[in-house]
Amino acid sequence: MTDYTDVCGRRLWPEARIVGGARSTFGRWPWQISLRQWRTSTYLHKCGAALLNENWAITAAHCVDSVPPSDLLLRLGEHDLASEEEPYGFQERRVQIVASHPQFDPRTFEYDLALLRFYEPVTFQPNILPVCVPTDDEGFIGKTAYVTGWGRLYEDGPLPSVLQEVSVPVIENSQCESMYRSAGYVEHIPHIFICAGWKKGGFDSCEGDSGGPMVLQRPDKRFLLAGVISWGIGCAEPNQPGVYTRISQFRHWINQILQF
């Protein structure tokens, strides 16, 4: 339990909205981060993010676009925003570097990815552990992905205080486009995105979940970061799956930035 060198994607806490999901349990998603932004007098939850190592988190570029780094605060190891008594506490970190993808396009949300470097490294503990970055995403289609966050429980709905989780199948981009078309939207969804959701809707990420992780579990039980929550039209509508930034496509960019 003291050797954290090779822990990525592993749960250590034994037990061990999102729309249509359920409350998570403590320590189930130890890479989940609440990305907060200073508003008037306090930091409020704005987006999700995921922990990559002791110095870096990953989120969506649209969450940090034109926000001064000094206005951002990352809260790691959080579970129930309203509870002060949890098995392990949270850690908070200020942001030293915001590296948004140079090709991020706020009009199309293409390249919706940003890396955040902390001022001070975090100490891993059972509720604060990094997720694995995949080398490829072969065989992801049809697999169950898990999406987590403190976003709205339905479109224009309330925000939960307990971290929510939902499972959705990964779908092919061509199918994702044709689903949107049958819903009346002509969306071009290039391979830098990865879609997940059901044809009938009902289960999805929503506003406030953006930037958070979509993970898949490998046969060896470790969790891989397949996507970062980017966009959707409404939340959990039929034929309108959630659209995520496809992390395997950005492996080299991520590794380059993480050298800093």
Catalytic residue numbers? 62, 112, 210
**Residue nearest ligand ARG, CB atom distance:** 232
Q: Each residue of 175-189: b (16+ CB within 10 Å) or e?
A: ebbebbeebeeebeb
Q: Which is nearer to ligand ARG, 26 or 104 (CB)?
A: 104
CA of residue 48 relative to chain centroid, distance: 5
CB 170 within 8 A of CB 226: yes
Give the pair of three-digit tokens for residue 128.
Answer: 């604060």
CB 155 within 8 A of CB 234: yes
Residues that bind ligand ARG (CB under 6 A): 151, 204-210, 229, 231-232, 235, 242
Q: What is the smallest separation between the CB atom of 1 and ligand ARG, expressed in angstroms?
A: 35
Please give the single-letter amino acid code of residue 42: T
Q: Which is nearer to ligand ARG, 8 or 60 (CB)?
A: 60
Q: What is the smallest separation between the CB atom of 37 and ligand ARG, expressed in angstroms?
A: 12
Q: What is the smallest separation between the CB atom of 207 and ligand ARG, expressed in angstroms?
A: 4
Q: Which is nearer to ligand ARG, 74 or 129 (CB)?
A: 74
Q: What is the smallest separation between the CB atom of 259 and ligand ARG, expressed in angstroms?
A: 29
**Dihedral class, residue 156 (left if φ above 0, else alpha if ψ from -120 to 50, else beta):** left
CA distance 191 to 224: 18
Q: Which is nearer to ligand ARG, 91 or 210 (CB)?
A: 210
